[in-house]
Structure 1
């Protein structure tokens, strides 16, 4: 992840590290094709809209969708997730803008759709979790 992050509001270094850790764990789970580890980054009552526009409500639904997707049409897809902005919405609630860059299995850049993602990450009893999010596929601009 890049170190150039726009921080808006009172986001302490500890919160920044925790929230960025959620995004890093999500990236690692996606690249490992591990639906369990991926869904664990979401709160039990999360709402997620993926890049295809499918809304998934709840951690269980996210896991159920992710398992066949990661082993199927996403099996050869890898990405780097870079946090570009943290916005304190309220104490314990951070909006996180992430740029997803396609990579090969070793992390090298490749051509393909990029993602522009917004996560709302909130502090929960079990730690910082994604409570809501939207992933948008973005075409690579022509050179």
Structure 2
């Protein structure tokens, strides 16, 4: 590629994605509900069979069965009394059937009252639409450093 050729914009602007965005919002809402109710099956529900995840500890998990096992252990253990609020920050449709979504996470207490005023973590989701349903193909969690 020559320097005169600008890089392409990859955002799909040819499709109305309102229903797709709503479906991705449901994925994020289900994830929040699963985390707050210690439901590992719901937490894993939207992941493809061959999904990969890098969790907040930087551990790479491959495959839905591995992810479910990790979710079971975490929600029964150190995450059992943890609560969160997730915000869908952005969704970009790279193709009509591929989306990149950013989710912000803030800790709450058991009643949903915010503990973190700012997002303590941001997750990048790669979602693929297959047979009319959105599946998480990959998720990458990144902790946001506290100010000061």
TM score, norm. by length of structure 2 = 0.84
Residue deviations 1:10-67 (CA, integer Å, cap 9, x gap): 3511011011111111111111111111111211110111000111111111000110
1:46 aligned residue (41, 47, 51): 51
| More strand per residue | 1
CA contact (8 A) 1:9 1:88 kept: yes
Q: Aligned pairs, how many?
A: 135
**Alignment partner of 1:123 is 2:116:** no
In structure 1, stretches of 5+ residues that fail to align are 1-7
Q: CA RMSD in A?
A: 1.8
TM score, norm. by length of structure 1 = 0.87
Higher relative contact order (CA 8 A, sep 6+): 1
- Residue 139 of structure 1 deviates from its aligned partner by 3.1
In structure 2, stretches of 5+ residues that fail to align are 1-10
| SS of residue matched to 1:64 | helix
